[in-house]
A and B are shown apart, each in its own frame.
Chain A
Amino acid sequence: MSEPLLKLDGLCAGYLGQDVVHDVSLSVAEGEAVAVIGSNGAGKTTMLRAVCGLMPPSRGSVYFDGTDIAGDKAHRVSRSGVVYVPAERHLFPQMSVKENLILGAYPKRPPSSQLDQVFDLFPRLKERESQHAGTMSGGEQQMLAVGRALMAAPRVLMLDEPTTGLSPLLASEAYNALAELRNAGLTILVAEQQVPLALGLADRGYVLDHGRIGLTGTADDLRNDPGVRKAYLGV
């Protein structure tokens, strides 16, 4: 098997010297979709923030394409090709949809063909092109957050709970869009508590419990695991 594109090795991270994520190791191969599932407070967000550089990990390594990027600043990680879509989205509320997308490609000035690709995936954004991001609905903001990340031409797209604040219908629409991206060959790492959706998208998954990886396997393995079924699928 070839070297994974993204590999977390013994990653620890937390706040005020108190680790929330303990010794997490996982890998994502090129073109693979991987889900990290776990309940609220399991450490999913902290783990992703430590990978993308919004907070420094306290220990461990993050290898991207063979290089250790652990502790790199967020803007460097983003420019290197690991692009993060946080659950709170962090859009630029007083800028138009188009400007948000253009900034996604920073420091480049994107050609309009690249904008069109995003508009093809999310026709809704085309309709709202000149509307301020802050005035859009939750579903539209989610599309914009993913669209803005795509403008950076990511090699790995990391998403934290892309269904946050969305109705069940919009949530499954969001996952349909992600499935389209996966089918186009994009490497995806998604953290999610809506386990059926995440396992529907992913090839493989990891269960994060109290900041530690408990279980790992293919999406089918996890779906059929009695522990997972009981804890996250309610059956």
Chain B
Amino acid sequence: MTAVIMDGIVLGLQFGILGVGLTLVYGLGGVLNLAHGQMAVAGAMVISRLTDGGMGTFLAVAIGIVAVGLLGMVIDLTLMKAVYGEEGEGRTLLGLLLMLGVGFIIDGVLEWRYPIEALTLRVAGDPIDILGVSMRRGSLVASAIILLVGALLVAFFRLTTFGRATRSVIQDENGARLVGVNPSVVRTSIFALSGILGGIVAVTRAMTTPVGSTDGIELTIFALIVAVVGGLGSVSGAFLAGILLGIVSTVSAFYIGSYITTIILLVVCAVTIVIRPSGLLGVRS
């Protein structure tokens, strides 16, 4: 049982950071990035192609992560301009549809060009015992990276001026404008950050399981579930929900069967919406 829960935490940390990327962009501009997982997978494919071509792993990983960040920035500066011109429901709907389209395009291109490509990042070394459970190095390194990134994110949002400005736009956009924050700059930067987080998800996931070229939609759905359960717009909520759902996922896979885990996750999501519509730690009512 301990082993199952430990695996759940490893998976949950990945879920968490996946959800954070989605929730930030939604909280800031009302855009539900339905291409989040596909963007992450695109980063994985960049890394995979570069390493196949003989490039060193670290450099390839860095380029792959930056590439997803740039993709996010470009999407924000082009497609999303039209979205931010809209208000309320129109904005949400247009953003959602455009990003759905972007997701289909990335998915289609990857399936067409690299149908059987998958990224695996092997972390050498023997398993390490933690609480009597033998954990693979890959899982530990992946989790350590995510915890570090999580800590950096918390420090960024709590302690830096720009991090505060980001939270101000999430909490009250007009209030943010009145104190001198330019929401467009914040949104573009955070869309890029969200892409970088997507790239990190792809990399850490590849340390535990192969990331295939067509896994994007599945990742997007996980991100969506995590963000909704955690509360759209809440970073700590996404992390909390990620870990909870990771444990739910591995426990149900172990005791019932892996075929049913996605269904169970969706049920958890639905129940959350009914009981607590704003999510565990949601900031929007």
Which of A's residues lie within 8 Å of B, judged by CB?
52-54, 73-75, 78-79, 83-84, 86, 89-95, 99, 102-107, 109, 148-149, 152
Contacts and interface: CB of A to CB of B under 8 A. Distances in A.
Interface in B136-178: 161, 164-165, 167-168, 171-172, 174-178
Contacts of A52: 178
Nearest to A89: B175
Classify the secondary structure of A's interface with B: loop
5 contacts: A73-B177, A73-B182, A84-B178, A90-B178, A103-B181
Interface in B44-98: none
Nearest to B283: A94
A75 B174 contact: no
A219 to B, nearest CB: 27
Contacts of A53: 177
B87 to A, nearest CB: 12
B174 A54 contact: yes
B283 A74 contact: no
B168 A92 contact: yes
A166 to B, nearest CB: 19
Interface of B is mostly: helix
A91 B178 contact: no
A107 B178 contact: no
B179 interface: yes
Contact of A75 (B171, B172, B177, B283): B177
Contact of A148 (B171, B179, B182, B183): B179
B161 A109 contact: yes
A92 B183 CA distance: 14
B180 interface: yes
B161 A99 contact: no
Contacts of B183: 75
A107 B183 CA distance: 13
Interface of B: 161, 164-165, 167-168, 171-172, 174-183, 283
B159 to A, nearest CB: 10
Given A103-B165, A106-B161, A107-B161, A95 B180 contact: no
B171 A78 contact: no
Given A92-B167, A109-B161, A103 B172 contact: no
B88 to A, nearest CB: 15
B244 to A, nearest CB: 22
A149 B180 CA distance: 10
A115 B171 CA distance: 22
Contact of B180 (A75, A99, A102): A75
Contacts of A105: 179
Given A75-B181, A106-B179, A90 B167 contact: no
Name the 3 nearest CB pairs between A and B, nearest first: A90-B175, A74-B177, A78-B180
A78 B179 contact: yes
B168 to A, nearest CB: 5
A95 B168 contact: yes
A52 B180 CA distance: 11
A107 B180 contact: yes
A90 B172 contact: yes
Contacts of A107: 161, 165, 180-181
A89 B179 CA distance: 12
B178 A78 contact: yes
A94 to B, nearest CB: 6
Contacts of A148: 179
Contacts of A95: 164, 167-168, 171
A78 B161 CA distance: 17
Contact of A86 (B161, B167, B178): B178
Given A90-B174, A103-B176, A106-B179, 14 more contacts: A54-B174, A54-B177, A74-B177, A75-B180, A75-B183, A78-B177, A84-B178, A89-B175, A93-B172, A94-B283, A95-B168, A99-B164, A102-B164, A152-B179
